[in-house]
Amino acid sequence: MHEILIMTPGPTYVSERVRQALARPITNPDLDPDFYEFYKETARQLQKLLATKNDVLILNGEGILGLEAACASLIEPGDRVLCLENGIFGRGFGDFVKMYGGEAVYFTRDYRQPISPEELQEFLEQDSDFKFATVVHCETPSGLVNPVRELCPVLKKFGILTVVDSVSAIGGEPLLVDQWKIDIALGGSQKCLSAPPGLTFLSISADAWKAVLNRKKPIAAFYCNLALWKKWYEEKWFPYTQPISDIYGLREAVDLLLQDESRLERHRVLGEAVRGALLAAGLKLYPVEGFANTVSAVQVPEGVKVETILEAMLKKHRIMLAGAFDVLAGKVFRIGHMGENCREDKLYLTMKALDQVLRELGVSLSASLPLEFIARAGK
């Protein structure tokens, strides 16, 4: 029985070089001065990936940890926080805001379209009294990207700190943290970086540090307290013991991604090829515009259950796709084309299997998924 091909929008396939890095002998990260240098060097590599001179931290926890840590560290009771919401994760940010005593104000828009910078500008001209705003770069459940490069400068013009969840975009979509005026950019190890799940990384600007360190009330958290990290290198002290093997794997994954100068073009070309093949076959995507180059959310054909599609793909073809959750539960299935999943051979096998599964389930396709994909990927 061959290995399952994981074509989900994270976790993704992990390369052999990353797996070998995970197997390196460990040391005591709290006491070994060489590990402090290794962590610092890894943070510098992440700075290159994020196009930032801001501090970068690596935290021991899946990507959600970064979202909560940003909210826990910035919010004081009564702070108003603007949550840009056109998807499940955009709305979910508000839960963290309320958890730490903030007032979540939602800027809610169509879940199938990107947020308009012009509409945001008009809103802020009427009400801009917010400590910070949360923005989701890639709404993974719906396969949609927001124009962060335009949204964050609008927010900063009104003196609002910007917190961007780019967990499913970093490495597969353009991201220029400093140029786009992002105060806290959040990423995760298991998406486009193609390392195992378990790590959050984030960049934090001088303005964000100022807000974290000059609070009137202490941060109501320990594990989510970013203030504890401000002098980790100078004092050679980590707030908790670092997951050394995971960081070895992350470093290798980041190095591999930085060596791939065509990474963004590869994601764009193959993302477009997947979408083009799906549409040519008569299937429908969930977004109507703002399509992500890292994940495609496909509407489940009428008369078929998403569970049936996923089960057939896994049992008959050993290929794992994803459904969705919350308001999209049962409505879409998702193909991850991010990181090491974003390779022509893996996507061809996925499209070939999906073509067969859908036809066997009685779905009428107007074109061949694998042939359309190859034709479009080769353009």
Mean pLDDT, range 214-234, rounded to an integer:
97
16-259: CATH number:
3.40.640.10
The angle subtended at Cα 148 by Cα 56 and Cα 130, nearest 5°, is 80
Mean pLDDT of 20-24: 98
Distances (CA, A) of 18 to 5, 273, 295: 17, 27, 22
Question: Which pLDDT score is estimated for 145?
Answer: 98
Q: What pLDDT digit, counting tens, does each position of 282-307 carry?
A: 999 999 999 999 999 999 999 999 99
Return the half-sphere exposure (C-beta side, CA atoms, 13 A cut-off) of residue 2: 8
Token reading at 152: 């964050």
- pLDDT confidence of residue 3: 87
Instruction: For residue 65, give the DSSP letter.
Output: H
Portion of the chain with pLDDT greater than 70, in percent: 99
| SS3 (DSSP) at 248 | helix
Q: What is the pLDDT of residue 2?
A: 58
pLDDT for residue 179: 98
**What is the CATH T-level fold of the domain 5-10+261-377, as seen in this structure?**
Aspartate Aminotransferase, domain 1 (3.90.1150)
pTM of the model: 0.97
DSSP string, 92-151: HHHHHHHHTT-EEEEEE--TTSPPPHHHHHHHHHH----SEEEEESEETTTTEE--HHHH
Q: What is the pLDDT of residues 54-96, one digit of tens each?
A: 999 999 999 999 999 999 999 999 999 999 999 999 999 999 9
- 336: enclosing H helix or E strand: strand 332-336
- Mean pLDDT rounded to a whole number for the chain: 97
From the list 41, 81, 73, 33, the residue with the least C-alpha distance to 58 is: 41
Domain layout of the chain by residue ranges:
5-10+261-377, 16-259
Confidence of residue 1 (pLDDT cuts 50, 70, 90): very low
Residue 98: CB partners within 8 Å, gap ≥ 6? 104
Q: What DSSP designation does 289 have?
A: S
pLDDT of residue 7: 98
CB 147 within 8 A of CB 155: no
Per-position DSSP letters for 299-325, written without gaps between them: EPPTT--HHHHHHHHHHHH-EE-B---
Residue 341, helix vs strand vs coil: helix
- Give the pLDDT band (50/70/90) at residue 378: confident
pLDDT band at 234; cut points 50, 70, 90: very high
Q: Which band of pLDDT confidence, cut at 50, 70 and 90, is reported for residue 16?
A: very high
